[in-house]
């Protein structure tokens, strides 16, 4: 019930919204680029129809957007990691969270990205139908957020934390616009984009040569999202 209430608040607007101070992300530009590249390679495979699951290829996606790395989302992710908050947060972002019993940041990031990308347990036989996200897909949620077509930005944070008297590493990635929206298509089935008209989900969109859509329209700035949301309802 609390989950439903918080999701309604996301749609209707949170009370007492406020910014917090910017947090400096700990990930280097090189590592941030590697995170973006990993996501976009997976998204490219889905877009061109070469992604396979349970021995069957998925249909292509004609509206799959390339992810840009966002320092705003990275700051929010780093804020959560710095505070060793292991649970998914009810922010206005999509989010993947990973905890690994290791203090090697590079190994943790690679392991988490692999685990998320391999978490798809859903056996789809989609033909030409658009895959619609529903309640039964929760176990595949990390993977689906990674390939949610209309997501355009990602940003991540990492921190060593103590959990159950053990040193662990917490890795958090935030996504915007968020995916995993019940009743919404994960992507539009069809051949990967070939022209600008295939990429009509956002302003200033183009189809790139690798079949991914791109946009210079900054939804994060346009929607004026707070870095972090505090609410009287958080303590319920």
pLDDT tens across 106-164, in order? 789 999 999 999 998 876 655 456 788 988 888 899 999 999 999 999 999 999 998 77
Q: Tokens 């607007």, residue?
A: 13
CA-CA distance, 130 to 134, in Å (whole number)? 13
What are the tens digits of pLDDT across the range 66-114? 999 999 899 999 999 999 998 888 678 899 999 998 767 778 999 999 9
Dist CA 89 CA 173 (whole Å)? 11
Can you list the domains of the chain with their CATH numbers?
26-235 (3.40.33.10)
Cα–Cα distance measured from residue 188 to residue 155, given in angstroms and rounded to the nearest whole number: 24
208 membership: H or E segment, kind and range: none
Is the pTM above the cut of 0.75? yes
Kindly report, residue by residue over 72-85, the tens digit of the pLDDT. Answer: 899 999 999 999 99
Q: How far apart are CA 191 and CA 220, in angstroms?
A: 28
Q: Say yes or no to pLDDT of 20 above 60.
A: no
Confidence of residue 16 (pLDDT cuts 50, 70, 90): very low
- Cβ-contact 153, 70 below 8 angstroms: yes
Specify the residue for token string 């539009």.
188
Give the C-alpha separation, 13 to 9, whole Å.
5
């Amino acid at each position: 019930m609390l989950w439903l209430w918080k999701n309604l608040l996301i749609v209707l607007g949170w009370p007492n919204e406020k910014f917090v101070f910017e947090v400096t992300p700990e990930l280097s530009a090189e590592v941030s680029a590697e995170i973006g590249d990993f996501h976009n390679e997976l998204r490219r495979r889905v877009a061109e129809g070469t992604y396979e699951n349970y021995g069957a290829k998925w249909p292509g996606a004609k509206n799959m957007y390339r992810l840009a790395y966002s320092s705003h989302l990275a700051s929010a992710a780093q804020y959560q990691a710095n505070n060793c908050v292991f649970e998914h947060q009810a922010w206005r972002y999509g989010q993947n969270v990973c905890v690994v019993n290791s203090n090697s940041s590079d190994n943790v990031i690679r392991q988490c990205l692999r685990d998320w990308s391999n978490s798809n347990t859903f056996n789809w036989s989609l033909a030409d139908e658009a895959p619609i996200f529903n309640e039964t897909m929760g176990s595949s949620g990390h993977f689906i957020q990674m390939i949610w077509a209309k997501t355009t930005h990602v940003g991540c944070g990492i921190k060593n934390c103590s959990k159950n008297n053990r040193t662990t590493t917490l890795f958090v990635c935030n996504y915007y616009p968020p995916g995993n929206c019940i009743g919404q298509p994960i992507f539009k089935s069809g051949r990967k984009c070939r022209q600008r008209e295939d990429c009509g989900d956002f302003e200033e969109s183009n189809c790139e040569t690798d079949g991914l859509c791109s946009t210079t329209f900054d939804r994060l700035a346009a929607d004026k999202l707070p870095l972090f949301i505090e609410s009287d309802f958080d303590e319920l």
